[in-house]
Chain A
Amino acid sequence: MLRLDKLTKQYGKFTALDGLSLEIADGQLHGFVGPNGAGKTTTMRIISTLLQPTSGTAEIDGVDVVRSGSKARKLIGYMPDFFGVYDSLKCWEYLDFYGRCYRLSAGERKQMADQLLDLVQLTEKRDAYVDSLSRGMKQRLCLARSLIHDPKLLILDEPASGMDPRARAEMKGILKTLRDMGKTVMISSHILPELSEMCDSLTILDHGHLVFSGSVEELSEKMNGNAPLDIRLQAGCGEETVERAVACLKELPFIREILQEETTLLRARLEGGEAETQQILRELVSRNIPVCDFHRAPMNLEKVFMEVTVDA
């Protein structure tokens, strides 16, 4: 559906986006995560034809967004992170207006507007003036607006920012409905756990670089493979025993790093999976080191996000 190839954007000398390559399959709900300034908005604006990339290409169903802008616009529904609304315009007129900008017929517009107001639960606000809506309602109306021409691909830039928890939950519901309707959705957020709950696949971006792209399962697998190993020795076992344990660990080739978190708590980072973990335990026990607790700390996504964006 969407294919980015070595997408680069420079603002003067500053590189906001550095060779981003990415593919999103049809019908996926794709999360786009990164800290402030990662380049999420920049990427989304390029895909939505609002910004020219410095180099690289973005294609939607084979349509190049730079060369065939107007063709691409028909395929995309874009909801920006910040946007304004017109005053002196009613909700249904607002949708009708954008419908006309997409050159829909009067019948199509009426039908779509009613359906969409229902989808975003604003039916009773149909005749209210747009600027009298609350922020969350405006965001929902803007989402409806981005759907008015029935696009295949939806680009949503932090659609849930400024929404209360209940509205966020409702937004999730709406997004799932959209996926069930067969739309491909690309949604950006700072909050990885929130996205991973509902997304099929994820991209993590930091300082314009791709950190990770793949399914949510792949991400947690990859991250748990990196989870540190916590080894707690018997309390009061003496400094000499701890030193022996450290020496023993250092001999193993797949240990990358050893930290002494507390007097008797060692944290080791290793490359490898279960076989290596077993070997460590075997070595320690065979040398009579009093191990009381031995486990790999499971990573939660909050931690993953922190780790991933620091390492890059």
Chain B
Amino acid sequence: MLNPILSFSATRRMRSGKTLVILGAWLAVMLGTALLMMGRLLGPEVTVNGLRSGTNCYIVLMIVQFFLIVLISPAMTSGTVAGERERQTLELLLVTNTRSLRIVWGKAMDSFGMLCLLLVCGAPVMFLPAVAGAVTPLQVLEGELFLLVTAFAAVCVGMLASAVARTSMAGGILAYLFVFGIAVVTSLPLFLDYPQAVTDIVYDPRALAQLSPGAATAMIFPVLFLNPGYGLIALLHGQTRFLSSALQYQQTGRLLCSFNLMDRAGGERIALISSGAVLLLGLALLFLSAAFVRRRGFGGKRKG
């Protein structure tokens, strides 16, 4: 049987006018970006510059959607459990024999479903660069899948905030703090010194050129895989040589160390591993959320 929390949240979501507004705004941003980036492509001939702008359009669309997802989903999810706590409907749910995990899963899937809807509706715009021949349809699909995974993880972060907080407001604030915290913690390795053995190879162009993809992958700080932003850059780099000009092997610097390793390991491989890691992190957060649903929650005034 379909999760009742999911189907009823979805019913209510579809009845509220907000959904249409969000969908409209999303499409407007996507189309606006595409027009801005690909204006030149509308001309009659296929030119190198045209192709370039097609590729850039794909990159910018990916980045814009990535940030929209990361910004929207915590807000979308953070009110779910906390909001029910605030409106005193949660207890009515908790006395039924629906397990906490089922509640959390249903609510997360409802938000995730909405994000899927946004991504699917935006997909035709995403395929414009492919139609222009700038990227392959398969690459666009990869990009969409990557965004789906990111959306799922972002929803899970919002879910945890929601399960912990007593009011939607507290949940929202907490969700953004979590997102910020995860971004900071998983970006730290970019600014850390790699071990001497690694830098010896990375800063030596010849040694770096001989490094196998597997070995390069193993050298990257594992925490970095939990950063969807790193995953996104890796994916775009793998697909379109995005940021290639910055990856000059002879240059040194901590940031470039991570980029050079990414280049050797292969961007798409990194993106895949990163997606897996992020997916697992999301699931772990969901289980953690379930453990908090039956507690009273904190932040905001106590009611009743």
Are B88 and A83 in contact, CB atoms less than 8 angstroms apart? yes
* Contacting pair A93 B8 (CB below 8 A): yes
| List of B residues within 8 angstroms of A226 by Cβ | none
Number of A residues with CB within 8 Å of any CB on chain B: 28
A102:B92 contact, CB within 8 angstroms:
no
B8–A85 touching, CB < 8 Å: no
Cβ-defined contact, B92 with A98, below 8 A: yes
Interfacial chain A residues near B4, Cβ < 8 Å? 97, 100-101
- Asked whether B89 is an interface residue with its Cβ less than 8 Å from the other chain, the reply is yes
Question: A98, B96: Cβ atoms under 8 Å?
Answer: yes
A87 within 8 A of B: yes
B16 adjacent to chain A (CB < 8 Å): yes
Kindly state whether residue A145 has any CB partner on chain B within 8 Å.
yes
Query: How many pairs of A and B residues are in contact by the CB < 8 Å rule?
Result: 68
- CA of A103 to CA of B89, assembled, Å: 19
Tell me if A255 counts as interface (CB < 8 A to partner B): no
Which residues of chain B in 90-141 are interfacial with respect to chain A, using CB atoms and an 8 Å cutoff?
91-99
Are A84 and B95 touching (Cβ within 8 A)? no
User: How far, in whole Å, are A70 and B304 apart by their CA atoms in the complex?
Assistant: 24
Are A80 and B98 in contact (CB-based, < 8 A)?
Answer: no
Question: Is A86 an interface residue, CB under 8 A from the partner?
Answer: yes
Which chain A residue has the least Cβ–Cβ distance from B3? Answer: A100
Cβ of B95 and Cβ of A103 under 8 Å apart? no
Which residues of B lie under 8 Å from residue A85 when comparing CB positions?
Answer: 89
CB of A76 within 8 Å of the partner chain:
yes
Interface residues as binary, A52-91 with B (CB distance below 8 Å gives 1, 0 otherwise) = 0000000000000000001001101010111111111100
B residues less than 8 Å from A103 (CB atoms): 1, 97
Contacting pair A88 B97 (CB below 8 A): no
Check if B12 sits within 8 Å of A70, measured CB to CB: no
Alpha-carbon gap, A103 to B88, bound state (A) = 22
A237 at the A/B interface (Cβ < 8 Å)?
no
CB-defined contacts of A48 to chain B, threshold 8 Å: 95
| Distance of B87 from chain A, by nearest CB (Å) | 4
Whether the Cβ atoms of A102 and B12 lie closer than 8 Å is no
Does any Cβ of B come within 8 Å of A28's Cβ?
no
Q: How many residues of B are counted as interface, with CB atoms below 8 angstroms from the partner's CB atoms?
A: 25
B230 vs chain A, min Cβ distance (A) = 40
A101 x B88 contact (CB < 8 A):
no
Whether B97 and A86, one on each chain, are in contact in the complex, defined by CB atoms closer than 8 angstroms, is: no
Is B15 in contact with chain A by the CB < 8 A criterion? yes
* B47 contacts partner chain A, Cβ-Cβ < 8 Å: no
Are B12's CB and A86's CB within 8 A?
Answer: yes
A139 within 8 A of B: no
In the complex, the answer to whether A83 meets B91 with C-beta atoms within 8 Å is: yes
The distance from the CB of B6 to the nearest CB of chain A, in whole angstroms, is 10
- Mask, A225-252, CB within 8 Å of B = 1, is 0000000000000000000000000000
A89 touches B8 (CB 8 A): yes
Complex contacts, A101 vs chain B, CB 8 Å: 4-5, 93, 96-98
When distances are taken between beta carbons in the complex, the residues of chain B under 8 Å from A102 are 96-98
Residue of A nearest to B83 (CB): A84
| Shortest Cβ distance from residue A107 to the other chain B in the assembled complex, whole angstroms | 13
Residue pair B15, A84 in contact (C-beta under 8 Å)? no
With contacts A70-B99, A86-B12 known, is A50 near B88, CB below 8 A?
no
Known: A93-B11, A100-B8, A101-B4. 7 other contacts (CB 8 A): A73-B96, A73-B97, A83-B91, A89-B8, A98-B96, A100-B7, A101-B98
6 chain-A/chain-B pairs, Cβ below 8 angstroms: A70-B99, A74-B97, A82-B304, A89-B12, A97-B4, A102-B97
CB within 8 Å of A: which residues of B? 1, 4-5, 7-8, 11-12, 15-16, 84, 87-89, 91-99, 294, 303-304
